[in-house]
Amino acid sequence: MRPGARTLAGLAIGFGGVGVLAGSPGVGAGGHLELVGGGIVLLGSLLWAAGSLLSRYTVDAPRPRMRVATQMLAGSVALAVLSASTGELGGFAVSAVSGRSWLALAYLVTFGAIIGYGAYIWLLDHVEPARVGTYAYVNPVVAMLLGWAFAGEPLTFRSLLAAAIILGSVVVITTEVGTRRRTQMPAPPTRMP
């Protein structure tokens, strides 16, 4: 089932909400770096949503566990190359990593990566990709709220507006998916006398 106009509009609204959340040029103390970071967040959200939509049309897709393993391996290799090329490995010392940091890493690897991404791949096989793709938009909102709750980061009008836009886009997408499913359901069989 191809995404309808309402789903595509919802995806565009969500993408715009992530843009509002990420900021705009010259806003904040980050300047150019904030613009680059915001662009990376927007690109990541766009690619995640596009991949979710296109995954439904993949012919002979590998088993879910293989897809998870491939993504994890490709991501770790890409990050290792990026870390090496930017010189981050030169100042790294395993002995300087705290026990709390190791526990946080273990939690993120287990629940955020293996279980979370595994569940995401399973959902792509069992739920409409547009509905599953909303995950890419909701993630920055969750990160914003966790930063506020645990790191004392401020909630600004712009961030709250962005959260409302993003959550509104999720409502637009999920309500169309439900409406389309109801209209495409076969009629119940009629009884013969």
Tell me what pLDDT residue 124 has.
78
Q: Residue 168 falls within a domain, yes or no?
A: yes
Tell me what pLDDT residue 103 has.
94
Q: Residue 187 falls within a domain, yes or no?
A: no
Q: What is the per-residue DSSP string for 102-130?
A: HHHHHHIIIIIIIIHHHHHHHHHHHS-HH
For 29, the domain range is 5-85+97-182
SS (H, E, C) 173-185: HHHHHHHHHHHHC
12 pLDDT band, cuts 50/70/90, is confident
Residue 126 has pLDDT above 70, yes or no: yes
Q: How far is Cα 153 from Cα 144, in angstroms, rounded to an integer? A: 8
For 33-50, what is each residue's pLDDT tens digit?
666 777 777 787 677 767
Q: How far is Cα 142 from Cα 29, in angstroms, rounded to an integer? A: 23
For 156-170, what is each residue's pLDDT tens digit?
888 889 889 988 988
Tell me what pLDDT residue 188 has.
40
For 47-105, what is each residue's pLDDT tens digit?
776 776 676 666 666 677 777 777 778 888 988 898 888 888 887 888 999 999 999 99
Q: Give start and end residues of each alpha helix (H) in 1-128.
A: 5-22, 32-54, 64-85, 99-107, 116-126
CB distance 12 to 96 below 8 Å: no
Higher pLDDT residue, 147 or 24? 147
Structurally, the chain folds into a number of domains equal to 1
Q: Residue 92 falls within a domain, yes or no?
A: no
Residue 16: Cβ within 10 Å count: 16
Q: Residue 189 falls within a domain, yes or no?
A: no
Summary mean pLDDT of the chain: 76
Q: Residue 191 falls within a domain, yes or no?
A: no
Q: Residue 90 falls within a domain, yes or no?
A: no
The owner of tokens 């012919």 is 59
Q: Residue 54 falls within a domain, yes or no?
A: yes
Q: Residue 91 falls within a domain, yes or no?
A: no
